[in-house]
Amino acid sequence: MISPNIPRLSTDTISVPAAGLTISDPIYIYGKLKIVGEGPLNITGRGRFVVEENAVLEINGVSIFISGLSEMETADDRTVVLMNGGELRLQDNTVVVDVVYDQEKSRRLAPWDEAPRFWVVASGMSGRKKHASIKVKVKNNKFESKNIYSVGAINLSIKTGAAPLNAKNIINMKIGGEVEGNKFYNFHGVIKFEGGENVLVSDNFLMKNSYFNIAASGNKIAIQDNEIRYPGNGTTGDGITVLGIMVDSEISGNNIYAGSCYGIWINVSHASNVIIKDNLIVNGITSAIYVSNGIVESDKDINGIIIDNNVMTGNSGFAIAIQNGRNIEITNNNFEGNAPGFPAQIMKSDLAEITVSGNISAKKLTPEWAEEHALYRHATYDDNSVLSLQ
């Protein structure tokens, strides 16, 4: 199961000594492996963990340094923890990645639009093809990338090709678990559950990450109470992205500040019973919440989204923009200073069917207005106006 040169406390435990331990070749895990210890765990060259179906990898309280990874051909070979199935438990670790972005390996001129070459954790293609079950518990870790555009953090998906997920895929969703209380700095792609079921992403702190920050699709997804600052890192990237399908899910209590694309983007072929509530979205360069059907599928159906009690201020686009969908309720939201130059904070296309009630706007403060209304420096008013566009 593991290299004979690695020290262990028992048949399924590695104790990292104070002097540290280096892994430069793959370790395949078929049973249960636990890693603990006071010294640094250095992963370099071809070093990686491959977790096979029904296996368990647990790493607790370890300082992990990842550098000098070999430039292998397949994405699976460029993943430090490759999940072909089984369970991953990471808790109370520090993970530092020092992998330099190589422009010569890029397929595009704009590196921020391209997936990273390396991942810290990702699902393997063999597991996806077998529809293997994957469960993760990632809690109270600190992840830091030393170099921009070079590496992503967590990428778990049931997809085996480029086609987006649709309603038919729901029977194959076997990726689940929790990502809670972690800190992520400077990654190119942070947390993705693509085709997840019973997923919780909560109480994480994300700072200056590009590409995507939190991306999810699936059934029974909860994205709650995350702090997302500068998503896109000055290039491009949403705070929270939903792609493909979302059913019986909630996005709530998240703070998204100064993003380089949408605050929350719902871009799906199928969505039902989705609640977006109690989020704070501030100073983004586009719309705070955007619902669209940009995925070309035969089962296009967005039916049943509630957008309630969110606060949106200072976004260059609309507070809420709805391109497609039916039975979309927009209620009790608070607006200030979004969509400058437009007559409304909410925009809908002719393809969208929405109901609007209980929303409030604050008048943008100017010196002239403040002088005239010295006793009432913040004018608030009911604002259920909608700009309809073709």
Give the mean pLDDT of 179-184. 99
How deeply is 125 buried, as exposed, middle or buried, from its count of CB atoms within 10 A (0-12, 13-18, 19+)?
A: middle
Residue 121's pLDDT band, with cuts at 50, 70 and 90, is very high
Give the mean pLDDT of 217-230. 97
Give the mean pLDDT of 284-291. 97
Question: What pLDDT does residue 10 have?
Answer: 41
Give the mean pLDDT of 196-225. 97
Please state, for a pLDDT cut of 70, what percent of the chain lies above it.
Answer: 88
Residue 367's pLDDT band, with cuts at 50, 70 and 90, is low
Give the mean pLDDT of 173-202. 96
Q: 64-110, pLDDT tens digit by residue?
A: 999 999 887 777 889 999 999 999 999 999 999 999 877 666 665 56
Question: What pLDDT does residue 130 have?
Answer: 77
Which amino acid appears at position 54 of this protein? N
Question: What pLDDT does residue 115 have?
Answer: 86
Residue 1's pLDDT band, with cuts at 50, 70 and 90, is very low
Question: What pLDDT does residue 372 have?
Answer: 66
Give the mean pLDDT of 207-215. 96
pLDDT at 288 over 60: yes
Give the mean pLDDT of 202-226. 97
Question: What pLDDT does residue 131 have?
Answer: 78
Question: What pLDDT does residue 4 have?
Answer: 42
- Cβ(126)–Cβ(211) below 8 Å: no
Roughly how many angstroms between the first and final C-alpha of the chain, as a whole number?
60
Give the mean pLDDT of 241-254. 96
Question: What pLDDT does residue 87 have?
Answer: 97
pLDDT at 63 over 80: yes
Q: Using alpha carbons, list the distances in angstroms from residue 126 to 89, 133, 274.
A: 21, 12, 31
pLDDT at 132 over 50: yes
Which amino acid appears at position 177 of this protein? G
Residue recorded with tokens 């085709």: 195
Q: 333-352, pLDDT tens digit by residue?
A: 999 999 998 999 999 999 89
- Write the DSSP string, 31-94: SEEEEEESSEEEEEET-EEEE-TT-EEEEES-EEEEEEE---SSTGGGEEEEESSEEEEEES-E
Least confident of 122-131, 177-186, 253-262: 122-131
Q: Using alpha carbons, list the distances in angstroms from residue 173 to 120, 213, 245.
A: 22, 21, 11
* CA proximity to 285, closest of 266, 264, 260: 260
Question: What pLDDT does residue 374 have?
Answer: 58
Question: What pLDDT does residue 103 have?
Answer: 62
pLDDT at 3 over 60: no
Residue 293's pLDDT band, with cuts at 50, 70 and 90, is confident
User: CA 8, 84, 152 angle in degrees (round to 5)?
Assistant: 90
Question: What pLDDT does residue 106 have?
Answer: 60
Question: What pLDDT does residue 8 have?
Answer: 42
Question: What pLDDT does residue 75 have?
Answer: 75
Give the mean pLDDT of 282-287. 96
pTM for the whole thing?
Answer: 0.92
Question: What pLDDT does residue 234 have?
Answer: 85
